C-alpha cells in the first residue's frame, strides 16, 4: 500500500474547522429563527454575515473530507477532486486579485454600493448590525464616504417625515471614543448630523469607511500581501501533495 501522512494531516484541520464554521452558522440561523422559516433567508435587504460561515465552512469541509478520505483510502478520484477543487479556488483568488488591481475604481464603486445597501438594512438583522458597528469602530469611520450616507436608513435620515428619535443621527459606532468612559453611550450619535461640520468632528467620525479601508490597506500592504502569498503557497503545496500521491497510487497499481 502507498503510505503518505501529509494530505491527511493538512486536510484533517480543514475538515474540523469546516464543521465548526457550519455549526456556528446553523446555530446563528437557528437563533434568528431562519431554520424554522427558510423563506426568511431572502427577506433581509442587506448582507447576512452568517453566509460567510456557511460558505467558508462548506468549502473547508468538502476539501478536508476529499483530502482525508482520498489519502486514507487511496482513492484517486477524491484526491483528483481535492486537487482540481483547490486549483479552481486558487485560480479564482488569482483572478479576483488581478481584476481588483486593474479595475480599482469599479471595485470602489461596488464597495460603496455594498456598504450603502447594508446601511439601509442596518436594523433588519442583528448580525449585520454588529458587523457594521465593528467595521465603523475598527476603522474609525462612518458610512461609506461620510456620515451623511446614513440618510439612506429610515431611522437615521433627516427628512421631516421621520419621527424616529434617531433622526439626523448616526449609530453609536460612529462616535469618537472617550478613553475615560467605561460604559458605551449608545445614544451618543443622536442629532449628531444636525450640528455644524466642525462640531461633528468632535463627537463622531466624519471620514467614510471606503477611504479608511484604502488607507488601512496601504498602511498594512506588506502584512496583507504576506498573508495572501502564504495562503497561495499552502494551496499550491496541497495540490502538489495530492498529485504526488495520485501518481504513487497509480504507479503501485500498475505494478500489480
What is the C-alpha separation between 214 and 7, in angstroms, rounded?
38
* Single pTM value for the model: 0.78
Q: What are the φ and ψ backbone dihedral angles of 119, each rounded to 5 degrees? A: -60, -40
Is 167 within 8 Å of 124 (Cβ atoms)?
no
Q: How confident is the model at residue 3, as a pLDDT? A: 45
Between 176 and 7, whose confidence is greater?
176
* Per-domain residue ranges of the chain: 104-236
Mean pLDDT of all residues belonging to the chain: 86
Q: How confident is the model at residue 43, as a pLDDT? A: 63
Is 193 within 8 Å of 200 (Cβ atoms)?
yes
Is 129 within 8 Å of 186 (Cβ atoms)?
no
Non-local (6+) Cβ contacts of 138 within 8 A are: none
| Model pLDDT for residues 70-81, shown as the tens digit of each residue | 888 888 999 999
At 175, is the secondary structure helix, strand, or coil? strand
All 3 cell numbers of residue 94? 488569482
What is the C-alpha separation between 144 and 142, in angstroms, rounded?
7
Please give the class, per CATH, of domain 104-236.
mainly alpha
Q: How confident is the model at residue 16, as a pLDDT? A: 82
Q: How confident is the model at residue 68, as a pLDDT? A: 85
Q: How confident is the model at residue 85, as a pLDDT? A: 92
pLDDT at 2 over 60: no
What is the C-alpha separation between 100 and 144, in angstroms, rounded?
18
111 band by pLDDT with thresholds 50, 70 and 90: confident
Q: How confident is the model at residue 248, as a pLDDT? A: 87
pLDDT at 9 over 60: no
Helix axes of 50-72 and 76-102: crossing angle, nearest 10 degrees: 140
Between 32 and 77, whose confidence is greater?
77
Q: How confident is the model at residue 5, as a pLDDT? A: 47
What is the C-alpha separation between 256 and 253, in angstroms, rounded?
5
Is 115 within 8 Å of 209 (Cβ atoms)?
yes
Average pLDDT rounded to a whole number, residues 99-127: 88
- Rounded to a whole number of angstroms, the CA Rg of the chain reads 24
What is the C-alpha separation between 40 and 7, in angstroms, rounded?
40
Q: Which residue has the cell 475538515?
A: 15
1 band by pLDDT with thresholds 50, 70 and 90: very low
17 band by pLDDT with thresholds 50, 70 and 90: confident
- The percent of residues above 90 in pLDDT, for the chain, comes to 40
Q: How confident is the model at residue 249, as a pLDDT? A: 86
- The percent of residues above 70 in pLDDT, for the chain, comes to 92
Average pLDDT rounded to a whole number, residues 176-182: 81
Q: How confident is the model at residue 45, as a pLDDT? A: 62
12 band by pLDDT with thresholds 50, 70 and 90: low
The residue among 72, 58, 102, 75 whose CA lies nearest residue 10 is 72
Non-local (6+) Cβ contacts of 189 within 8 A are: 166, 169, 170, 171, 172, 174, 175, 203, 204
Average pLDDT rounded to a whole number, residues 111-125: 89
Amino acid at each position: 500500500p502507498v503510505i503518505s501522512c501529509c494530505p491527511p494531516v493538512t486536510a484533517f484541520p480543514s475538515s474540523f474547522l469546516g464543521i465548526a464554521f457550519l455549526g456556528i452558522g446553523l446555530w446563528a440561523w437557528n437563533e434568528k429563527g431562519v431554520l424554522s422559516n427558510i423563506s426568511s433567508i431572502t427577506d433581509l435587504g442587506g448582507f447576512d454575515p452568517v453566509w460567510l460561515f456557511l460558505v467558508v465552512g462548506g468549502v473547508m469541509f468538502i476539501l478536508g473530507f476529499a483530502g482525508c478520505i482520498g489519502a486514507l483510502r487511496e482513492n484517486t478520484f477524491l484526491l483528483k477532486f481535492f486537487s482540481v477543487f483547490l486549483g479552481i479556488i486558487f485560480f479564482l483568488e488569482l483572478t479576483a486579485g488581478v481584476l481588483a488591481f486593474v479595475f480599482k475604481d469599479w471595485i470602489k464603486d461596488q464597495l460603496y454600493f455594498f456598504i450603502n445597501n447594508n446601511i439601509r438594512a442596518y436594523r433588519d438583522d442583528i448580525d449585520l448590525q454588529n458587523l457594521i458597528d465593528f467595521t465603523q469602530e475598527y476603522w474609525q469611520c462612518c458610512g461609506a464616504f461620510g456620515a451623511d450616507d446614513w440618510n439612506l436608513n429610515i431611522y437615521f435620515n433627516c427628512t421631516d417625515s421621520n419621527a424616529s428619535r434617531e433622526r439626523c443621527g448616526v449609530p453609536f459606532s460612529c462616535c469618537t471614543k472617550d478613553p475615560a468612559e467605561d460604559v458605551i453611550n449608545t445614544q451618543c450619535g443622536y442629532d449628531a448630523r444636525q450640528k455644524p461640520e466642525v462640531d461633528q468632528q468632535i463627537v463622531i467620525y466624519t471620514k467614510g469607511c471606503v477611504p479608511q479601508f484604502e488607507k488601512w490597506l496601504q498602511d498594512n500592504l506588506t502584512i496583507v500581501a504576506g498573508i495572501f502569498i502564504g495562503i497561495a503557497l499552502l494551496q499550491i503545496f496541497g495540490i502538489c501533495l495530492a498529485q504526488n500521491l495520485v501518481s504513487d497510487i497509480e504507479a503501485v497499481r500498475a505494478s500489480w
